Amino acid sequence: WVRMVTAQTPTNIAVIKYWGKRDETLILPVNDSISVTLDPAHLCTTTTVAVSPSFDQDRMWLNGKEISLSGGRYQNCLREIRARACDVQDEEKGIKIAKKDWEKLHVHVASYNNFPTAAGLASSAAGFACLVFALAKLMNAKEDNSELSAIARQGSGSACRSLFGGFVKWNMGKAEDGSDSLAVQLVDEKHWDELVIIIAVVSSRQKETSSTTGMRDSVETSLLLQHRAKEVVPKRTKQMEEAIKNRDFGSFAQLACADSNQFHAVCLDTCPPIFYMNDTSHRQVAYTFDAGPNAVLFAHNRKAATQLLQKLLFCFPPNSDADLNSYVIGDKSI
Protein backbone atom coordinates (compact mmCIF):
# COMPACT_ATOMS: atom_id res chain seq x y z
CA TRP A 1 0.00 0.00 0.00
CA VAL A 2 0.88 3.67 -0.37
CA ARG A 3 -0.61 6.51 1.66
CA MET A 4 -0.36 9.95 0.04
CA VAL A 5 -1.18 13.53 0.98
CA THR A 6 -0.91 16.60 -1.26
CA ALA A 7 -0.81 20.16 0.04
CA GLN A 8 -0.45 23.56 -1.55
CA THR A 9 1.14 26.54 0.21
CA PRO A 10 1.61 30.10 -1.03
CA THR A 11 4.73 32.10 -0.44
CA ASN A 12 4.80 35.19 1.75
CA ILE A 13 6.42 38.59 1.32
CA ALA A 14 7.78 40.34 4.40
CA VAL A 15 6.84 43.97 4.99
CA ILE A 16 8.92 44.03 8.18
CA LYS A 17 11.93 41.92 7.28
CA TYR A 18 13.57 39.05 9.12
CA TRP A 19 17.32 39.45 8.71
CA GLY A 20 19.70 37.88 11.21
CA LYS A 21 19.66 34.84 13.50
CA ARG A 22 20.53 34.57 17.16
CA ASP A 23 20.61 30.75 16.86
CA GLU A 24 21.64 29.21 13.53
CA THR A 25 20.54 25.63 14.23
CA LEU A 26 17.11 26.31 15.68
CA ILE A 27 16.70 29.31 13.33
CA LEU A 28 15.80 31.92 15.91
CA PRO A 29 15.70 35.50 14.63
CA VAL A 30 17.09 38.74 16.07
CA ASN A 31 13.80 40.58 15.50
CA ASP A 32 10.06 40.08 14.96
CA SER A 33 8.83 40.19 11.35
CA ILE A 34 5.51 40.69 9.58
CA SER A 35 4.49 39.37 6.18
CA VAL A 36 1.57 39.04 3.84
CA THR A 37 0.76 35.65 2.40
CA LEU A 38 0.03 35.68 -1.32
CA ASP A 39 -2.98 34.20 -3.03
CA PRO A 40 -2.39 30.45 -3.48
CA ALA A 41 -3.40 30.78 -7.14
CA HIS A 42 -0.15 32.61 -7.95
CA LEU A 43 3.14 31.88 -6.24
CA CYS A 44 2.93 28.57 -4.46
CA THR A 45 4.51 25.21 -3.79
CA THR A 46 2.60 21.98 -4.26
CA THR A 47 3.98 19.03 -2.32
CA THR A 48 2.95 15.41 -2.28
CA VAL A 49 4.24 13.22 0.51
CA ALA A 50 3.88 9.45 0.42
CA VAL A 51 4.62 6.61 2.79
CA SER A 52 4.82 2.91 1.97
CA PRO A 53 6.40 -0.14 3.62
CA SER A 54 8.20 -0.70 0.31
CA PHE A 55 10.20 2.57 0.57
CA ASP A 56 13.68 1.82 1.89
CA GLN A 57 14.84 5.41 2.45
CA ASP A 58 13.53 8.98 2.69
CA ARG A 59 13.78 10.65 -0.76
CA MET A 60 12.79 14.00 -2.23
CA TRP A 61 12.31 15.48 -5.71
CA LEU A 62 12.19 19.24 -6.25
CA ASN A 63 10.74 20.40 -9.58
CA GLY A 64 11.24 16.86 -10.90
CA LYS A 65 14.91 16.51 -9.88
CA GLU A 66 16.02 14.39 -6.97
CA ILE A 67 17.71 16.38 -4.20
CA SER A 68 19.59 15.25 -1.12
CA LEU A 69 17.67 15.08 2.14
CA SER A 70 20.85 14.87 4.17
CA GLY A 71 20.85 18.61 5.02
CA GLY A 72 20.13 19.37 8.67
CA ARG A 73 17.08 21.48 7.85
CA TYR A 74 15.13 18.66 6.16
CA GLN A 75 16.23 16.21 8.83
CA ASN A 76 15.09 18.56 11.60
CA CYS A 77 11.63 18.97 10.07
CA LEU A 78 11.23 15.24 9.44
CA ARG A 79 12.40 14.35 12.95
CA GLU A 80 10.10 16.89 14.62
CA ILE A 81 7.00 15.70 12.71
CA ARG A 82 7.88 12.01 13.20
CA ALA A 83 8.07 12.66 16.94
CA ARG A 84 4.47 13.94 16.81
CA ALA A 85 3.05 11.25 14.51
CA CYS A 86 -0.11 9.46 15.67
CA ASP A 87 -2.02 6.30 14.73
CA VAL A 88 -3.48 6.32 11.23
CA GLN A 89 -6.41 4.20 10.18
CA ASP A 90 -7.73 4.34 6.64
CA GLU A 91 -10.35 1.61 6.44
CA GLU A 92 -11.22 2.27 2.80
CA LYS A 93 -7.67 1.53 1.69
CA GLY A 94 -7.01 -1.03 4.42
CA ILE A 95 -4.13 1.01 5.86
CA LYS A 96 -3.30 0.85 9.54
CA ILE A 97 -0.20 2.54 10.91
CA ALA A 98 0.50 2.54 14.63
CA LYS A 99 2.25 5.49 16.24
CA LYS A 100 5.36 3.41 16.97
CA ASP A 101 5.63 2.26 13.31
CA TRP A 102 6.44 5.74 11.99
CA GLU A 103 10.04 5.44 13.23
CA LYS A 104 10.64 2.58 10.77
CA LEU A 105 8.69 3.92 7.78
CA HIS A 106 10.24 6.09 5.05
CA VAL A 107 8.68 8.92 3.08
CA HIS A 108 8.95 10.12 -0.51
CA VAL A 109 8.41 13.81 -1.20
CA ALA A 110 7.69 15.48 -4.55
CA SER A 111 7.57 19.27 -4.55
CA TYR A 112 6.91 21.81 -7.33
CA ASN A 113 7.23 25.58 -7.31
CA ASN A 114 5.19 27.50 -9.88
CA PHE A 115 7.72 30.38 -9.68
CA PRO A 116 11.52 30.77 -9.89
CA THR A 117 13.33 28.94 -7.12
CA ALA A 118 15.79 31.01 -5.03
CA ALA A 119 15.43 34.24 -7.00
CA GLY A 120 14.44 36.21 -3.92
CA LEU A 121 10.80 35.24 -4.03
CA ALA A 122 10.86 33.28 -0.82
CA SER A 123 10.64 29.85 -2.40
CA SER A 124 12.04 28.22 0.75
CA ALA A 125 9.17 29.80 2.68
CA ALA A 126 6.46 28.10 0.66
CA GLY A 127 8.55 24.94 0.34
CA PHE A 128 9.20 24.18 4.00
CA ALA A 129 5.75 25.34 5.13
CA CYS A 130 4.16 22.98 2.61
CA LEU A 131 6.48 20.10 3.49
CA VAL A 132 5.77 20.39 7.22
CA PHE A 133 2.02 20.80 6.71
CA ALA A 134 1.81 17.82 4.33
CA LEU A 135 3.92 15.59 6.59
CA ALA A 136 1.79 16.55 9.60
CA LYS A 137 -1.36 15.46 7.71
CA LEU A 138 0.30 12.27 6.44
CA MET A 139 1.39 11.31 9.95
CA ASN A 140 -1.83 12.52 11.60
CA ALA A 141 0.02 14.95 13.89
CA LYS A 142 -2.46 16.94 15.97
CA GLU A 143 -0.52 20.21 16.29
CA ASP A 144 -2.20 23.47 15.28
CA ASN A 145 -0.72 25.78 12.63
CA SER A 146 1.22 27.91 15.14
CA GLU A 147 2.84 24.80 16.58
CA LEU A 148 3.61 23.57 13.06
CA SER A 149 5.07 27.00 12.25
CA ALA A 150 7.76 26.43 14.90
CA ILE A 151 8.75 23.27 13.01
CA ALA A 152 8.65 24.90 9.56
CA ARG A 153 10.87 27.63 11.05
CA GLN A 154 13.60 25.02 11.49
CA GLY A 155 13.52 24.44 7.73
CA SER A 156 13.69 28.11 6.80
CA GLY A 157 12.88 31.05 9.03
CA SER A 158 10.45 32.77 6.68
CA ALA A 159 8.57 29.46 6.20
CA CYS A 160 6.91 29.77 9.60
CA ARG A 161 4.85 32.71 8.27
CA SER A 162 3.40 30.71 5.33
CA LEU A 163 1.29 28.48 7.57
CA PHE A 164 -1.34 31.22 7.68
CA GLY A 165 -3.09 33.41 5.13
CA GLY A 166 -3.53 37.17 5.44
CA PHE A 167 -1.04 39.18 7.49
CA VAL A 168 1.18 37.14 9.75
CA LYS A 169 3.61 37.99 12.52
CA TRP A 170 6.59 35.87 13.48
CA ASN A 171 7.23 36.50 17.16
CA MET A 172 10.97 36.22 17.69
CA GLY A 173 10.41 34.71 21.15
CA LYS A 174 12.78 34.64 24.11
CA ALA A 175 13.12 30.97 25.05
CA GLU A 176 16.46 29.34 24.27
CA ASP A 177 14.79 26.19 22.94
CA GLY A 178 12.77 28.26 20.44
CA SER A 179 9.40 27.09 21.79
CA ASP A 180 7.96 30.65 21.70
CA SER A 181 9.44 31.61 18.31
CA LEU A 182 6.38 31.00 16.16
CA ALA A 183 3.94 32.61 13.76
CA VAL A 184 0.51 34.03 14.57
CA GLN A 185 -2.11 35.37 12.20
CA LEU A 186 -2.72 39.12 12.65
CA VAL A 187 -5.70 39.36 10.28
CA ASP A 188 -7.05 36.93 7.73
CA GLU A 189 -7.02 37.33 3.94
CA LYS A 190 -10.47 38.95 3.86
CA HIS A 191 -9.50 41.82 6.18
CA TRP A 192 -7.80 43.98 3.52
CA ASP A 193 -9.50 42.79 0.35
CA GLU A 194 -8.66 45.79 -1.86
CA LEU A 195 -4.93 45.59 -1.35
CA VAL A 196 -3.24 44.50 -4.62
CA ILE A 197 0.26 43.11 -4.73
CA ILE A 198 2.15 43.31 -8.01
CA ILE A 199 5.35 41.37 -8.35
CA ALA A 200 7.47 42.53 -11.24
CA VAL A 201 9.91 39.73 -11.98
CA VAL A 202 12.94 41.62 -13.23
CA SER A 203 15.18 38.57 -13.04
CA SER A 204 14.53 34.90 -12.44
CA ARG A 205 18.21 34.08 -12.11
CA GLN A 206 19.34 32.37 -8.93
CA LYS A 207 20.49 35.06 -6.48
CA GLU A 208 24.22 35.13 -5.79
CA THR A 209 24.18 35.36 -1.99
CA SER A 210 21.68 33.11 -0.23
CA SER A 211 19.68 34.65 2.61
CA THR A 212 21.30 32.22 5.02
CA THR A 213 24.87 33.26 4.19
CA GLY A 214 23.97 36.91 3.71
CA MET A 215 22.32 37.29 7.11
CA ARG A 216 25.16 35.40 8.82
CA ASP A 217 27.65 37.93 7.39
CA SER A 218 25.36 40.81 8.43
CA VAL A 219 25.11 39.52 12.03
CA GLU A 220 28.89 39.24 12.18
CA THR A 221 29.79 42.56 10.59
CA SER A 222 26.94 45.09 10.47
CA LEU A 223 26.50 47.55 13.32
CA LEU A 224 23.42 48.86 11.55
CA LEU A 225 21.82 45.42 11.96
CA GLN A 226 22.25 45.61 15.73
CA HIS A 227 20.71 49.08 15.84
CA ARG A 228 17.86 47.93 13.58
CA ALA A 229 17.05 44.84 15.67
CA LYS A 230 17.16 46.64 19.04
CA GLU A 231 15.91 50.13 18.32
CA VAL A 232 14.01 50.23 15.03
CA VAL A 233 12.05 47.03 14.46
CA PRO A 234 10.30 46.76 17.86
CA LYS A 235 8.69 50.17 17.35
CA ARG A 236 8.08 49.69 13.64
CA THR A 237 6.40 46.33 14.19
CA LYS A 238 3.83 47.90 16.51
CA GLN A 239 3.16 50.72 14.03
CA MET A 240 2.80 48.20 11.19
CA GLU A 241 0.32 46.13 13.21
CA GLU A 242 -1.76 49.29 13.73
CA ALA A 243 -1.59 50.25 10.05
CA ILE A 244 -2.74 46.77 9.02
CA LYS A 245 -5.53 46.69 11.59
CA ASN A 246 -6.81 50.09 10.38
CA ARG A 247 -6.20 49.38 6.66
CA ASP A 248 -4.20 52.61 6.67
CA PHE A 249 -2.44 52.44 3.30
CA GLY A 250 -0.40 55.65 3.84
CA SER A 251 1.25 54.36 7.02
CA PHE A 252 1.53 50.85 5.62
CA ALA A 253 3.37 52.08 2.50
CA GLN A 254 5.68 54.36 4.48
CA LEU A 255 6.62 51.61 6.95
CA ALA A 256 7.04 48.90 4.30
CA CYS A 257 9.27 51.12 2.13
CA ALA A 258 11.32 52.29 5.13
CA ASP A 259 11.84 48.72 6.26
CA SER A 260 12.84 47.50 2.80
CA ASN A 261 15.26 50.44 2.49
CA GLN A 262 16.82 49.67 5.85
CA PHE A 263 17.13 45.99 5.05
CA HIS A 264 19.05 46.83 1.86
CA ALA A 265 21.09 49.38 3.83
CA VAL A 266 22.07 46.62 6.28
CA CYS A 267 23.12 44.53 3.26
CA LEU A 268 25.37 47.38 2.09
CA ASP A 269 26.69 47.80 5.65
CA THR A 270 27.72 44.12 5.61
CA CYS A 271 31.32 43.14 4.96
CA PRO A 272 31.67 42.15 2.15
CA PRO A 273 28.61 44.16 1.00
CA ILE A 274 25.62 42.33 -0.46
CA PHE A 275 23.75 43.69 -3.48
CA TYR A 276 20.29 42.18 -3.94
CA MET A 277 18.79 44.77 -6.26
CA ASN A 278 20.08 44.76 -9.80
CA ASP A 279 20.25 47.61 -12.32
CA THR A 280 16.70 46.94 -13.47
CA SER A 281 15.36 47.27 -9.92
CA HIS A 282 17.09 50.64 -9.61
CA ARG A 283 17.21 52.34 -12.94
CA GLN A 284 15.17 50.86 -15.73
CA VAL A 285 11.74 51.58 -14.33
CA ALA A 286 10.36 54.72 -12.70
CA TYR A 287 6.87 55.78 -11.71
CA THR A 288 5.00 59.00 -11.11
CA PHE A 289 1.46 59.96 -10.26
CA ASP A 290 -0.26 63.01 -11.86
CA ALA A 291 -3.32 64.73 -10.46
CA GLY A 292 -5.31 61.52 -10.77
CA PRO A 293 -5.22 57.93 -9.69
CA ASN A 294 -3.31 56.44 -12.62
CA ALA A 295 0.27 55.37 -12.20
CA VAL A 296 2.58 56.34 -15.02
CA LEU A 297 5.44 53.92 -15.39
CA PHE A 298 8.60 54.92 -17.25
CA ALA A 299 11.04 52.58 -18.85
CA HIS A 300 14.38 53.78 -20.16
CA ASN A 301 13.98 52.38 -23.68
CA ARG A 302 11.66 50.34 -25.86
CA LYS A 303 13.24 47.06 -24.93
CA ALA A 304 12.81 47.77 -21.24
CA ALA A 305 9.26 48.98 -21.96
CA THR A 306 8.38 45.74 -23.70
CA GLN A 307 9.78 43.80 -20.77
CA LEU A 308 7.75 45.93 -18.40
CA LEU A 309 4.65 45.36 -20.49
CA GLN A 310 5.16 41.63 -20.37
CA LYS A 311 5.47 41.82 -16.60
CA LEU A 312 2.31 43.89 -16.31
CA LEU A 313 0.41 41.52 -18.55
CA PHE A 314 1.52 38.73 -16.26
CA CYS A 315 0.03 40.63 -13.31
CA PHE A 316 -3.10 41.79 -15.14
CA PRO A 317 -4.05 39.10 -17.65
CA PRO A 318 -6.60 40.16 -20.30
CA ASN A 319 -9.51 38.71 -18.34
CA SER A 320 -8.73 40.77 -15.23
CA ASP A 321 -10.79 43.87 -14.63
CA ALA A 322 -7.81 46.26 -14.68
CA ASP A 323 -7.96 48.65 -17.62
CA LEU A 324 -4.42 48.47 -18.90
CA ASN A 325 -4.99 48.29 -22.64
CA SER A 326 -2.65 51.01 -23.61
CA TYR A 327 0.81 51.76 -22.37
CA VAL A 328 2.32 55.12 -23.21
CA ILE A 329 6.06 55.44 -23.17
CA GLY A 330 7.10 59.05 -23.75
CA ASP A 331 5.00 60.06 -26.74
CA LYS A 332 4.81 56.56 -28.18
CA SER A 333 2.07 54.07 -27.56
CA ILE A 334 2.89 50.40 -27.68
Q: Which residues pair with 8 in a beta bridge?
A: 46
CB neighbour list of residue 216: distance below 8 Å, 6 or more residues apart: 21, 24
CB 248 within 8 A of CB 289: no
Which string of DSSP letters, residue by residue, matches 245-265? HTT-HHHHHHHHHHHHHHHHH
Question: Least distance (Å) from ligand DP6 to the CB of residue 65?
Answer: 20
- The residue (of 19 and 102) whose beta carbon lies closer to ligand DP6 is 19
The closest residue (CB) to ligand DP6 is 157
CB of 123 to ligand DP6, least distance (A): 9
* Shortest Å, Cβ 232 to ligand DP6: 15
Specify the residue, 213 or 310, whose C-beta has the smaller distance to ligand DP6.
Answer: 213
CB of 219 to ligand DP6, least distance (A): 11
Residue 130 in contact with residue 145, Cβ under 8 Å? no
> What percent helix, strand, coil does the chain show, rounded to 5?
35, 25, 40
Kindly state the helix (H) or strand (E) to which residue 168 belongs, with its residue range. strand 167-170
Please report how the helices 145-152 and 72-83 are oriented relative to each other, as an axis angle in degrees rounded to 10: 150
Q: How far is the CB of 18 from ligand DP6 (least distance, A)?
A: 3
Query: Of 156 and 307, which CB lies nearer to ligand DP6 in the complex structure?
Result: 156
Cβ-based nearer residue to ligand DP6, 51 or 60: 60
Output 18 or 167, the one with its CB closest to ligand DP6.
18
CB of 181 or CB of 211, closer to ligand DP6: 211
Q: How far is the CB of 202 from ligand DP6 (least distance, A)?
A: 16
Residues 6 or more apart whose Cβ sits within 8 Å of residue 260: 17
List residues near ligand DP6 by CB under 6 A: 14, 17-19, 27, 33, 122, 124, 156-158, 211-212
